[in-house]
Structure 1
Amino acid sequence: MFTTVSTPEADETCAYCGSLIFDHDPICVRDCDDGCGSPAYFYNYACLSAHVDENDLTAGNACEWSPGE
C-alpha cells in the first residue's frame, strides 16, 4: 500500500470552517483504515479537534494507551 503526497491548491478550504487553509497552519488527514481516500484539509489543529469532537470520531477507536503492554 502506498499514498501519493501532493500539495493542495492555494484556494483549498478547511473541511470544518471553510476558511482558506493556507491562511494558517494547515493539517492534512486521511482515513487510511478506509482505503486511504481523498485527504481532508483543516485550517489548524483547533478545526481538526472540533471536527473530531462533533463527529464523535474517537468512539471505538484505539485512543487508549496501556503502558504495561
Structure 2
Amino acid sequence: MSTTVSTPDADQPCAYCGSRIFEHDPICVRDCDDGCGAPAYFCNYACLAAHVDEKDLTAGNACEWSPEE
C-alpha cells in the first residue's frame, strides 16, 4: 500500500469550517485504517479538534492508562 503526497489547490476549503486552508496553518489528515482514502484538509488544529469532537472519533480508539500499571 502506498500513498502519494500532493499539494492541494490554492482554494481548497477546510473540511470543517469551509475557510480556505492556505489563509491559515493547514493540516492534512488521511484515514489509513480505512484504505488510505482521500485526504481531508483543515485550516488549523482548532478545526481538526472540533471535527474530531463532533464526530466522536476518539471513542474506543484511545489507549487507557492507569496509575496502578
Q: TM-score, normalised by structure 2?
A: 0.90
Q: Deviations over 1:29-61 (max 9, x none)?
A: 000000000000001000000000000000011
Q: Distance in 2 between matches of 1:34 and 1:19?
A: 26
Counterpart of 2:10? 10
Quick one: distance in 2 between partners of 1:40 and 1:16?
Answer: 9
The SS at the match of 1:28 is strand
C-alpha distance in structure 1 between counterparts of 2:64 and 2:25, whole Å = 28
* Identical columns (%): 78
The structure whose Rg is larger is 2
Q: Which runs of 4+ in 1 moved over 2 A?
A: none
Count of aligned pairs: 67
Amino acid at match of 2:45: Y
- Pairwise mapping of residues 1-69 of structure 1 onto structure 2 (< 5 A)? 1-61=1-61, 63-64=62-63
Quote how far apart the aligned CAs of 1:65 are: 5.6
Structure 2: runs of 5 or more not aligned: none
Residue segments in structure 1 that go unaligned for 5+ positions in a row: none
Aligned CA RMSD, in angstroms, stands at: 1.6
Q: Which TM-score applies when normalising by structure 1? A: 0.90
